[in-house]
Amino acid sequence: MRAARRRALRLPPMVGDSLLSALLLLNILTTRAHPELPVAVALTAALALPLVWRRRAPLTVFGLVAAAAFVQWLVDIQLPADVALLVALYTVAAHSGRRGALVAAAVVEGGALLACLRWAVDGAFPTLFVALSAMVVAATVLGVNVRTTRAYLAVLEERAVRLEQQQDQQARLAVAEERARITREMHDIVTHNLSVMVALTDAAVYAQHRSPDRATTAMLQISETGRQALTDMRRSLGVLRTDEPDAERHPLPGIAQLEVLTDQMRAAGLPTRVEVHGGHTHIPATAQLTVYRLVQEALTNTLKHTPTGTHARVRVHCSTETVPVDVTDSGPCSPLPGATPSGHGIPGMRERAAAYGGKLRAGPLSGGGWGVHARLSLGSGGAASA
């Protein structure tokens, strides 16, 4: 607020330059004792008036002022308006290149030498020349410093703008990554649980007259699957509070929950066997979640796209460096008639595997059936990628 107020109260540059020119003219007009007042006024005007445009055309203004000063030297008139030479020199040094500043300084230094030769009294030449030379050097150095400071501030401003753009770009990338993560989670959760619920519902409808107990069991499993789906969705969206009881009853899915997952698939009509070799307690929770989602998506695709009677097998090998995951089934290599893949399952699995420096292969097996293989890396490269 204060900076804005100071900028508002600051006079425009051209107004300040006009006031400087007016002061120089006013000084000579109020000097009545000058022997050649008309010529002095004309020369003062020639020295002072170009300063009004010194910021727009510094070299041109300096040339005009230097020419007027040379005419003044020729007619042998001393004027207070000679300070306009230093102002013009400062402007050239502040707004032009280094070469222009050096040339202008040399011109003014030559003028100082001529002025001392003509107007210095006996014995005062060295002192006067040193004083004028010091003023020339001071004006030049001051202008160069102003130009350097302005350029430095411009670089800082450009760097700040670039940094702001990079931060904005990184924020957009983070939002896109988070959106993709939520999309993958929602796809896996919704597709799997709805597929299981549809299969259980069909089984319950089929068994409601012949075996009411099996129908009741299937309906209870449908209810539990729905609650699990809601809990997973709330957790993935980041709105599940730790003080809710569901947070303890439904921990983050991992390798330990593969048995529960295969139980769901068996209840939905897909006989599934799971084999976990090696201990998994040392595996990070995010890697275990990746393994769980890979197996979940592969089994869901088998449930959706294979006929009744298909068997599935899950094998997970846990080691200190890698976690190979294999999901195979005995179904046909081509989907059932009328089954259209969603198009997000296998790409989503590839993205999950790539997050841990691994690759995913999915395709028909040589002995029949379909297989999905992934190998997650737990080393520094895979962990950094994740």
| pLDDT reported for residue 159 | 92
- Residue pLDDT, tens place only, 38-70: 888 888 888 888 888 888 889 999 999 999 999
- Average pLDDT over all residues of the chain: 80
Residue 113: partners with Cβ closer than 8 Å, 6 or more residues away: 129
Lowest mean pLDDT among 5-19, 129-143, 156-170, 356-370: 5-19
DSSP 58-78: HHHHHHHHHHHHHHHHHHT--
| pLDDT reported for residue 107 | 93
Residue 174 lies in a domain: no
**What's 385's domain CATH number?**
3.30.565.10
State which of 94, 119, 144 marks the end of a domain.
119
Report the sign of the C-alpha dihedral through residues 220, 224, 226, 227, in that order. Answer: positive
Residue 342: partners with Cβ closer than 8 Å, 6 or more residues away: 187, 191
Residue 202 lies in a domain: no
- Residue pLDDT, tens place only, 300-358: 888 888 888 889 999 999 988 899 999 999 887 644 444 444 455 788 888 888 888 88
Report the sign of the C-alpha dihedral through residues 135, 138, 144, 150, in that order. Answer: negative
| pLDDT reported for residue 3 | 47
Q: Which of 349, 354, 345, 350 is nearest to 386 (CA)?
A: 354
Residue 306 lies in a domain: yes
pTM: 0.49
HEC string of 283-351 equals CCHHHHHHHHHHHHHHHHHHHHHCCCCCCEEEEEECCCCEEEEEEEECCCCCCCCCCCCCCCHHHHHHH
Residue 198 lies in a domain: no
What's the CA gap between 28 and 170, in Å, rounded? Answer: 63
Residue 29's pLDDT band (boundaries 50, 70, 90)? low
- Residue pLDDT, tens place only, 178-206: 777 777 777 777 777 777 777 778 777 87
Number of independent structural domains in the chain = 2
| pLDDT reported for residue 341 | 46
Residue 218 lies in a domain: no
State which of 79, 98, 119 marks the end of a domain.
119
Domain that holds residue 368: 254-386
State which of 65, 88, 119 marks the end of a domain.
119
| pLDDT reported for residue 142 | 93
- Beta-carbon count within 10 A of 335 CB: 15
Residue 226 lies in a domain: no
Residue 147 lies in a domain: no
